């Protein structure tokens, strides 16, 4: 039988009302709430027998404006040692009633209250990334608070959450954004459940929106010759002197934009032939990489030569200087201006239109085509989930030589004598 009975039970000959007395040390408002309505401090204990004949203790009581009905535990049979006696069941019922009394009075919280405490916990205890905290605050203040208002968090049910989902999708938010909202909301309820503010997590019972189909069904990337044309199209000015090695590094290492902008000369290991990723520049500040972990990527000879020339030209070449800094100030390049100049260079080169981020796909596809194991590509690109790297598997060489098998299977040419020999042997 489930913890909640589907219907309200009728009277049972063994029912007993359990009263919860005034509790010493509680605030006066708490005790007044108990006395104002006797149903707040009383409950009913009864026995329910399921189809198999197994008996269990159930309790029924009021929590605020709701009638609550819960399974207390299995009933101890006469002469048995397992299960709860009536005294033990009454004691557990009193605990449950007291718990819900707290929810119904001083400890009851709104979603805004619980969400703010959850974000504070993530920021100062769990040490989540600054960008994640900013996103969560935006979800709470810009969307969730306005919809759920002053509704106590324990009164939010699956239907209300589903209504939020429908409202946001109708308002034009993408399914991915709404999915992010639901992930955050799920975390809030998990946090609240651990602290006794709610009894269930309604997000668990809501269907998630399906992932929207991307308008670009094929991965967009540059072929090696197109990459050369892009490098040649970079303007011959001070910023262009930085952008040429920057574009090459993006394509030949697969680093994210923020990781490239945060790269320092100490991260370029000339002897080991590797580029180490230790920092990330996002939303105007330096932070840890996306996965919270550093990594290193092989540095091709072509990139090593270009970086060597770049360091000789640059006025900022100490270990703590940025590799791809502004040529006049040594500060971080402006990401929006950088992306704009990249788009202009793509147009001048006359190659397929891609974004700066899609230089990362150039690395992934070309490494897969060269036969690099997907596990190695995942590590180089910093993918936390192997499924993310799976998008490059169709660019890897076919280990089954499938093309030759198909060609042989559908060939109309007469088979050679060597091909016929096994057939003749089988006919014998």
Distance, in Å, from the CA atom of 38 to the CA atom of 413, rounded to the nearest integer, reads 94
pLDDT at 43: 82
**77 and 150, same domain (yes or no):** no
Confidence of residue 99 (pLDDT cuts 50, 70, 90): low
DSSP state of 313: H
Element (H, E) at 380: helix 374-381
**170 and 303, same domain (yes or no):** no
10 occurs within a structural domain: no
pLDDT at 101: 62
Exposed/middle/buried for residue 159 (C-beta within 10 Å: 0-12, 13-18, 19+): exposed
Sort residue 391 into left (φ over 0), alpha (ψ -120 to 50) or beta. alpha
Average pLDDT, the chain: 85
**153 and 70, same domain (yes or no):** no
pLDDT at 214: 57
Contact between 317 and 265 under an 8 Å Cβ cutoff? The reply is: yes
Mean pLDDT of the 349-354 span: 95
Q: Domain count of the chain?
A: 3
Distance, in Å, from the CA atom of 419 to the CA atom of 428, rounded to the nearest integer, reads 16
Mean pLDDT of the 129-153 span: 93
400 occurs within a structural domain: no
401 occurs within a structural domain: no
CA 382, chain centre distance (Å): 15
Q: Which two tokens mark 184?
A: 């955050």
Does residue 246 register a pLDDT over 90? yes
Does residue 427 register a pLDDT over 70? no
Mean pLDDT of the 356-381 span: 96
Can you give the CATH number for the domain in which 173 is found?
Answer: 1.10.150.130
Contact between 298 and 380 under an 8 Å Cβ cutoff? The reply is: yes
419 occurs within a structural domain: no
33 occurs within a structural domain: yes
**363 and 342, same domain (yes or no):** yes
Confidence of residue 102 (pLDDT cuts 50, 70, 90): low
- The share of the chain scoring above pLDDT 90, in percent, equals 62
User: Residue 63, SS3?
Assistant: strand
pLDDT at 4: 52
DSSP state of 107: T
Mean pLDDT of the 16-27 span: 44
Contact between 44 and 61 under an 8 Å Cβ cutoff? The reply is: yes
> How many residues belong to the chain?
428
Distance, in Å, from the CA atom of 131 to the CA atom of 375, rounded to the nearest integer, reads 27
**270 and 384, same domain (yes or no):** yes
391 occurs within a structural domain: yes
Mean pLDDT of the 78-89 span: 90
Predicted model pTM: 0.64
**253 and 359, same domain (yes or no):** yes
Does residue 428 register a pLDDT over 70? no
**374 and 282, same domain (yes or no):** yes
341 occurs within a structural domain: yes
Distance, in Å, from the CA atom of 340 to the CA atom of 357, rounded to the nearest integer, reads 13
Closest CA to 103 of 199, 220, 185: 199
46 occurs within a structural domain: yes
Can you give the CATH number for the domain in which 259 is found?
Answer: 1.10.443.10
**133 and 173, same domain (yes or no):** yes
Does residue 16 register a pLDDT over 60? no
pLDDT at 360: 96
C-alpha distances out from residue 215 to 218, 237, 256, 393, 411, Å: 9, 35, 22, 21, 38
**260 and 230, same domain (yes or no):** yes
**134 and 281, same domain (yes or no):** no
- Residue numbers of the domain that contains 347: 224-395
Distance, in Å, from the CA atom of 257 to the CA atom of 388, rounded to the nearest integer, reads 18
Distance, in Å, from the CA atom of 57 to the CA atom of 74, rounded to the nearest integer, reads 6
């Amino acid at each position: 039988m489930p913890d909640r009975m589907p219907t309200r039970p009728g009277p049972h000959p063994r029912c007993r009302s359990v009263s919860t007395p005034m509790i010493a040390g509680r605030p006066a408002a708490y005790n007044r709430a108990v006395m104002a309505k006797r149903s707040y401090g009383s409950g009913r204990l009864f026995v329910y027998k399921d189809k198999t004949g197994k008996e269990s203790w159930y309790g029924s009581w009021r929590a605020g404006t709701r009638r609550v009905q819960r399974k207390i535990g299995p009933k101890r049979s006469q002469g048995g040692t397992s299960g709860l006696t009536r005294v033990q069941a009454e004691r557990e019922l009193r605990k449950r009633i007291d718990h819900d009394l707290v929810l119904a009075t001083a400890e009851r919280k709104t979603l805004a209250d619980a969400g703010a405490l959850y974000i504070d916990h993530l920021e100062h205890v769990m040490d989540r990334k600054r960008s994640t905290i900013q996103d969560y605050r935006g979800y709470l203040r810009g969307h969730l608070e306005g919809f759920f208002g002053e509704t106590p968090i324990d009164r939010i049910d699956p239907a209300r959450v589903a209504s939020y989902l429908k409202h946001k999708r109708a308002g034009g938010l993408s399914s991915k954004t709404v999915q992010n909202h639901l992930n955050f909301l799920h975390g809030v309820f998990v946090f609240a459940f651990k602290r006794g503010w709610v009894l269930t997590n309604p997000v668990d019972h809501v269907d998630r929106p399906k992932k929207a189909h991307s308008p670009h069904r094929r991965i967009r990337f540059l072929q090696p010759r197109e990459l050369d044309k892009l490098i040649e199209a970079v303007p011959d000015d001070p910023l262009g002197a930085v952008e040429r090695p920057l574009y090459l590094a993006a394509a030949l290492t697969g680093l994210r934009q923020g990781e490239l902008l945060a790269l320092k000369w100490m991260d370029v290991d000339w002897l080991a032939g590797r580029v180490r990723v230790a920092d990330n520049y996002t939303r105007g500040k330096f932070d840890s990489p996306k996965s919270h972990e550093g990594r290193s990527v092989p540095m091709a000879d072509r990139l090593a030569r270009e970086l060597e020339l770049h360091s000789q030209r640059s006025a900022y070449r100490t270990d703590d200087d940025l590799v791809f800094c502004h040529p006049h100030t040594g500060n971080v390049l402006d990401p929006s201006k950088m992306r704009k100049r990249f788009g202009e260079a793509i147009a001048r080169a006359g190659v397929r239109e891609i974004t700066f981020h899609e230089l990362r796909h150039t690395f992934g596809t070309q490494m897969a085509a060269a036969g690099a194991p997907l596990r190695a590509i995942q590590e180089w690109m910093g993918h936390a989930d192997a499924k993310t790297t799976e998008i490059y598997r169709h660019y890897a060489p076919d280990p089954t030589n499938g093309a030759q098998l198909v060609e042989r299977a559908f060939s109309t040419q007469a088979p050679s004598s060597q091909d016929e020999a096994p057939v003749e042997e089988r006919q014998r």
